[in-house]
Structure 1
Amino acid sequence: MLTACVTSNLEKQYSIRCWNQQHIAIRGDDCHVPIMDIDGNIVRTITTDTENGPSDVVILDEQNIIYIKYYSKHIVFVKNMETTQELKTVTTTDWYPIQLCVSRPSYILVCVCFQEYHDSKDQGRKVLQYTSTGELIREIRYHFNRPLFIAENINSDIIVNDYYSVKTKYLVKAVSSREYLRFIYDGSVEFGFASTVGPGGLDCDTLGHIIIADHYNNNIHIINKDGGFVRFLLNENHYVDKLWGMCFDGVDSIWITELESKKYKQFRYMTVEG
């Protein structure tokens, strides 16, 4: 059910994160990331040390954030939003950081690539895990081709939207905390209209569902923690155009961004019974 449709002032809307229950942060294409309410009012602005905007931003709490400076290969840990005090800047040497997410217990997962992300000759991809203060814990090299979006499920599976170059399509992969491949979801469901999963936002809800924003088909796939298809969330009556960013609000709804329309929307999909 559509519960909010709001207009921002951003020319591009690449990703969306929940700041708290009333406010969301949207990443565009400049160094300022606005925090907006359900009425479209900017209540706060995150200023990043980037020229064309961070590649990704995650929110630890209302005072602490982490963002990516893609071209300088930096992951910036900001401790205090009021003074934008940089707690630590991690340089990933030869690796370009792409996207990140918060995992349990307060760890950070980061997708990185050895060369620039759109270089088709690059075969070096992995996921790094850091503490919330920037200490590297481990790296996971297996099972990934070109991971873009990343999330962690309640069973500690690492979920990525991964580019599969052989058939020029994206696959959603789940890798366990012990680093073995649990399942692959390609969007091919016999009773739906999607034949492949387009690159879009990725998140998990409190029931262990994996929520996938499908840019190709302008829809949301919901699958269970074992990769089984549950349902599509949207239909043609929802009028979603160029779906891109998506996040779960921690309660019962998701927020999505449309890439170019300046619209961001909230859909409630969970009931009390789940």
Structure 2
Amino acid sequence: MSLNGQIKQTIQYNKQNEPLFSNPQLVTENINGDICVVDDYSAVVVVDKGGQFRFKYPESGKSTHTIDDCYGIVCDKLGYILISDYRNNRIHQIDSDGKFVQFVLTEQHGIRYPRGLSIDDKGQLWVCNNDSFEVRVYKYRS
């Protein structure tokens, strides 16, 4: 949307005029200008800045990783996408092409029902930990 309230772009359908999202919840932009959308709390759909579909994570039937209630997404300065996985008590890290890299944090790190995520200019990862009603700060990148 422009500063005067004019809609600049709507992202809704792929090239085949099929809906890209079933229930979009959260949105962020990565370093490449891609738009990363949490859809129906269970997947991330990424489109390029022109609105063209790039990938979905996890990809149905092709990934061993699942997301069970995502309430947080953030992109770092290297192009990685971090996704909170609320019911599985972990933070996924995927690359800018949708490939799983690692679980950045898990229950062994004190993560219980993670929700909101943020990365500050010092490279610290902020996690809203719903189980303990607190915000925790982790060293992520320097």
The TM-score with structure 1 as length reference comes to 0.45
Residue 153 of structure 1, aligned match among 8, 12, 30: 30
Task: Tell me, yes or no, if the aligned pair for 1:147 and 1:160 is still in contact at 8 Å.
Answer: yes
Alignment of 1:152-191 (within 5 A): 152-163=29-40, 170-186=42-58, 189-190=63-64
* Candidates 57, 73, 79, aligned match of 1:202: 73
CA contact (8 A) 1:206 1:250 kept: no
* Runs of 5+ consecutive residues of structure 1 not aligned to the other structure: 1-129, 164-168
Q: Distance in 2 between matches of 1:251 and 1:181?
A: 32
Partner of 2:104: 233
Aligned twin of 1:263? 134
Aligned to 1:243: 114
Of 213, 216, 226, which aligns to 2:87? 216
Work out the CA distance in 2 between the residues paired with 1:214 and 1:254. Answer: 15
CA deviation string 1:111-143 (max 9, x = no partner): xxxxxxxxxxxxxxxxxxx13554421211221
Q: Deviations over 1:155-197 (max 9, x none)?
A: 111101102xxxxx7111101112111011117754xxx4334
> Quick one: structure 1 residues 253 and 195, their matched pair in 2 at CA, closer, same or farther if it must change by over 3 Å?
same
Code of the residue aligned with 2:49 in structure 1: it is S
Specify which structure has the higher proportion of strand. Answer: 1
- What code does the residue aligned with 2:67 have? T
- TM-score scaled by length of structure 2: 0.83
Q: Distance in 2 between matches of 1:251 and 1:133?
A: 34
C-alpha contact (below 8 Å) 1:148/1:162 kept by paired residues: yes
**Larger of the two Rg values belongs to structure:** 1
Distance 1:133 1:262 in 2: 38
1:133–1:265 distance in 2 versus 1, CA, 3 Å: farther
Whether the 8 Å CA contact 2:114–2:130 is kept in 1: the answer is: yes
CA distance in 2: counterparts of 1:251 and 1:135, whole angstroms: 35
Q: CA RMSD in A?
A: 2.0
Q: Look up the equivalent residue of 1:171 and give its one-letter code.
A: A
For 2:94 and 2:53, how far apart are their aligned partners in 1? 16
Question: Residue 92 of structure 1 aligns with which residue?
Answer: none
Task: Please list the CA deviations of residues 21-76 of structure 1 after superposition, one character each: whole Å capped at 9, or x if unmatched.
Answer: xxxxxxxxxxxxxxxxxxxxxxxxxxxxxxxxxxxxxxxxxxxxxxxxxxxxxxxx
